[in-house]
Amino acid sequence: MAGDGRYALDLTATAIAEADAIGRPDLKLEALNQRQSAERLWGIGRYADTLREIERVVQTSALVPSAAEWAWAHSFYAPFGDEAAERHARDGIARTVESGRYGELSYLYICLVLVLIRRSDVRAAQAAVAEADRLGAWGVHALQEDMARILVLEYAGDLDAARGDTGGAARELLAVVGRAGAECPFEAARSRLALGQVYRRAGFKGLATETLDAAAAAFDELGIPRWARRARAEAARTGLRPAAGTLTAAERRVAELVGAGRSNRETADELFMSVKTVEANLTRIYRKLSVRSRTELANLLNRPGSPG
């Protein structure tokens, strides 16, 4: 586990085979857990097959894994789209509190925080850390506590992003941003933010503004206003007004009518839309143009060289 993932997998394969040969399901389960760690950390092997094998060993033997062991297998390394991962962690916490085995809570809470962070639910992750604090879950396990707090602070936008070479960073970030589904929603938005920062530092103001606006919109949808404000602040530093091209044709028409003083109902009637559709368009317009009210929208559209 010090750096050679494939050798680690070879060793776990040997351990699994020998545990089978001597009839020790407990040792086999431990080896399977180690194989799972190697597969997830290095991105090699077949993680889903290993998890199924862990479940089979437990079902066909007298082994009763603790809540922490079960959550670790199902949650700690779970991909961001695994809908059952949170349930395993929360069920484990409930069982552990009920049984009074508080020593395992730190392992369960770091599993829960990781699941929530991968799912881009930063608010829920913050709540999980606060809940762990109230229960005194961390105990002497400083590593799990530090990991949980750093993750929540970083993803909530409380720590500064690292800076590096703009040319190399742009190439790396473009490769990531260009692959849809390569990252969980939060990481995808943060990659766009980083790319926009790189564009701005390199002097590509138009690209920077477009990329940072997209990042801000993604953060808004995830309910992470601190990161959305950060992206908009970066966009403001380019010195460019929001471009007309950031609005769709429908959004531009809604903006023009609302900016001219029409009510939502009047706008809906004129454009043959529902009021809800007008409201949804206005939400996107405000976000894209970085305005907060109808008055600000009207003032922006009435300026010379405005996006309207």
Structure confidence at residue 89 as a pLDDT band (50, 70, 90)? very high
Burial 282-293 (b: 16+ CB within 10 A, else e): bebbbbbbbbee
State what percent of residues in the chain have pLDDT above 70.
Answer: 85
What rounded mean pLDDT belongs to the chain? 81
- Residues 23-64 have pLDDT tens digits of 999 999 999 989 988 888 777 778 889 989 999 999 998 888
| Verdict on whether the full-model pTM lies above 0.75 | no
Does the structure show a pLDDT above 80 at 154?
A: no
Residue 171: what pLDDT?
A: 65
pLDDT of residue 183: 67
Encode pLDDT of 259-302 as tens digits.
Answer: 888 999 999 888 888 888 899 889 888 877 777 788 878 877 76
Among 14-18, 144-148, 301-305, the range of highest mean pLDDT:
14-18
- The pLDDT assigned to 148 comes to 86
Across the range 216-236, mean pLDDT stands at: 83
What is the pLDDT confidence band of residue 1, given thresholds at 50, 70 and 90? low
Largest CA distance in the chain: 82
Domain formed by 247-301, architecture:
Orthogonal Bundle (1.10)
| Structure confidence at residue 21 (pLDDT) | 96
Distance of CA 103 to the CA centre of its chain: 28
pLDDT confidence bin for 129, thresholds 50/70/90: very high
| Contact criterion met (CB below 8 Å) for 107 and 143 | no
pLDDT, tens digit, for every residue of 229-240?
888 888 887 776
